[in-house]
Amino acid sequence: MGEAISTAAFRESLAHFASGVTIVTMRGPDGPVGFTASAFTSVSLEPPLILVCVGRQASLHDRFLVHEHFGVSILAHEQAWVAAQFSQRKVDRFRDVPLSEGPIAGVPLIDGAIVHLECRCHERHPAGDHTIVLGKVLHAKVTNGKPLVHYKRAFGGFTAS
């Protein structure tokens, strides 16, 4: 068998996968905390489960793993600035970002997002340099709007053909 692909080649390959943009949020002791999560997907309809991956080197990794509840906001097309702000380090990621509280556990959710999910941690699994977190969806809210899409390290939109 051959050697594994290089990290650079693997990263470049995956940049060609278009995906929606999500912000994962929790209520911290000093206010809301959150991060942009590109590794997000549905896992199961029964029970309703989603998957979020967080890098072990991420600044919020350890804090994320101790929270029982978290929110997921799937961003709208006009929220590219929110995604960019949340992907930065050592900034107030919530500066000028309007929030509301989830109705079940009060997790912070990004106003204007096209989907809000309120989740409870179901399972956690170490996987390489990330931790996979399965969340059981307790509440969902869907609004009209176009999604923000991430493709080849850039934000854009989606148009149905």
Give the pLDDT of residue 66. 80
CA 35 to chain centroid: 7
Question: For the sheet containing 19-20, what is the strand order?
Answer: 19-20, 149-151, 154-156
Q: How far apart are CA 110 and CA 79, in angstroms?
A: 10
Q: How far apart are CA 151 and CA 153, in angstroms?
A: 5
Give the pLDDT of residue 1. 64
Q: How far apart are CA 99 and CA 7, in angstroms?
A: 36
Q: How confident is the prediction along the chain (161 residues), in pLDDT tens digits per residue?
A: 678 888 888 788 777 777 889 999 999 888 899 998 878 999 999 999 999 998 888 877 777 778 899 999 999 999 999 999 998 888 889 999 999 999 999 999 999 999 999 999 999 999 998 999 999 999 999 999 999 988 788 788 887 77
From 25, 150, 10, 50, select the one nearest 100 (Cα to Cα): 25
Secondary structure E strands in 12-129 = 19-20, 22-28, 31-37, 40-44, 49-55, 69-74, 99-101, 108-110, 115-127
Count CB neighbours of 20 within 10 A: 16
Helix (H, G, I), strand (E, B) or coil at 142: strand
Give the pLDDT of residue 81. 95
Give the pLDDT of residue 31. 87
Find tokens 């290089």 and name the residue.
6
Find tokens 């905390």 and name the residue.
33
